[in-house]
Structure 1
Amino acid sequence: MDVEVKRASKSYHSSGGKAVEALSAIDLTISSGEFVCLLGPSGCGKSTLLKLIAGIETASSGAVICAGEVVVGPSTGRGFIFQDYSLFPWLTVRQNIAFGLQRGKGTKREKRELAEHYIRLFELEEAAGLYPKQLSGGMSQRVAIARALCLQPKLLLMDEPFAALDAMLRQKLQEELVRIWQRENATFVFVTHDVEEAIFLADRIIVMSPRPGAVSAIVPVQLPRPRERTDAAFVELRASVLRLLHERQSSIAQ
């Protein structure tokens, strides 16, 4: 699914009634099948932009267009994964993954087989009967991603899904996510403030600046896959993006 953001702005009202602009005139095009990371410091509007694309929030001005249609609200064709997993605590892993299929098309058997496919894909067979409170953070995140993909969205939006995980588990899930993206042939948009994570995952990195949020730079990641974090080209690009972020922050501070 392709995405086009046209001069999209978003303002909120503070407790005192004053308008606070979170995003300003965002112009952005994402091609179908692309893996894009939104990168920037806290408060730069990454999550707000993601929610506009998802239809969870509405732009104050401008528009978001997905697959040729203006976004006016959430859709099963646009999956969304929150940082805190948002699993239903009263449902098992299997029930959580299959939950979104209840109102969809297909027979009960077809829906069950689809849910089992994603349970196997994420190696959750032994945990299928467990409840969220019995899961580790990494396993909970795998369930959240499997649940979103079970609806077979053409666009998957992820809001810092690995931020709370330890470094080793985070790297493992990044590798899994790239494999799933390559297999599913969907468009992925991933919010992060971690430069290395963005370079490992993305085809392009959208660097955002705060006050209010705007697209500061677009960095193509032309490294072959699978990517090695210790390769000279990877290290060089990481240093380049860090310099870019530092320069943008310095110019704002002046």
Structure 2
Amino acid sequence: MMAKAQITEGIKDFLIQIGELSHFAGRFLREAPKRPFEFNELLRQCYSVGNRSLTLVGITGFIIGLVLTLQTRPTLIEFGAVSWMPNMVGISIVREIGPVVIALICAGRVASGIGAELGSMRVTEQIDAMEVSGTNPFKYLVVTRIAATTLMVPILVILGDVLALFGSYLVEHFKGDVSFQLFFNKIFSSLDFGDLIPATVKSFFFGFAIGLVGCFKGYNCKKGTVGVGMAANTAVVMASMLIFILDFIAVFVSDIFYEL
């Protein structure tokens, strides 16, 4: 009975979280088109999300290309298909591996940072002070951060994809003596708009989910300083889960589109 009660309580808490998150997203959609537009804060948040994640995303993307090629090359050699390496690497990185892995990196780096930042502002009553002074803290703190992650994550994904493909090229160049022009000509010949557009579109949704969850957890932080750590931790977990769910939906819709 106790286990059943715990499961029921867990399901109830999960559904409440989903409802509150949906309400928070609706409030963002209502507030975003309204004036005034905080362009300076938006630019500052874009710099914070993009520039400070640049090194981590670049190194991660480069290593993805190296590892994927090193692990796959022996198998392709065994089947006599090593000439298909650029095609395989290009499609797998651009379609799936690049967007998902880079989004997860941003979830760990950005969502936790936003959750901790807004959470500390909530527990130290800075957000309450902004409300008392007549400003709109949701507009200034939340809308700008969600917009920044929505805009910057796709750019970071593109950067990660490029560096991953370059890392793959280095392996092929030194192990298979493949030229730069030949390697990338084969990659671009294997890709079409049906590969690029869905990957780019879902990157915007990944960025939106990362910013939304980070702001939601931080803005509604409770339980004092302990809640700040909980907000940062749960923001990463929830953002990662949303990324996987959105990726599944994107792949499912893409398959239906290809069948049509």
TM-score bracket, normalised by the shorter chain, equals: under 0.3
Rg larger in 1 or in 2? 2
* Bigger RCO (CA 8 Å, 6+ sep): 2
Q: Give the structure-1-normalised TM-score.
A: 0.25
Q: Give the structure-2-normalised TM-score.
A: 0.24
Structure 1 or 2: larger strand share?
1
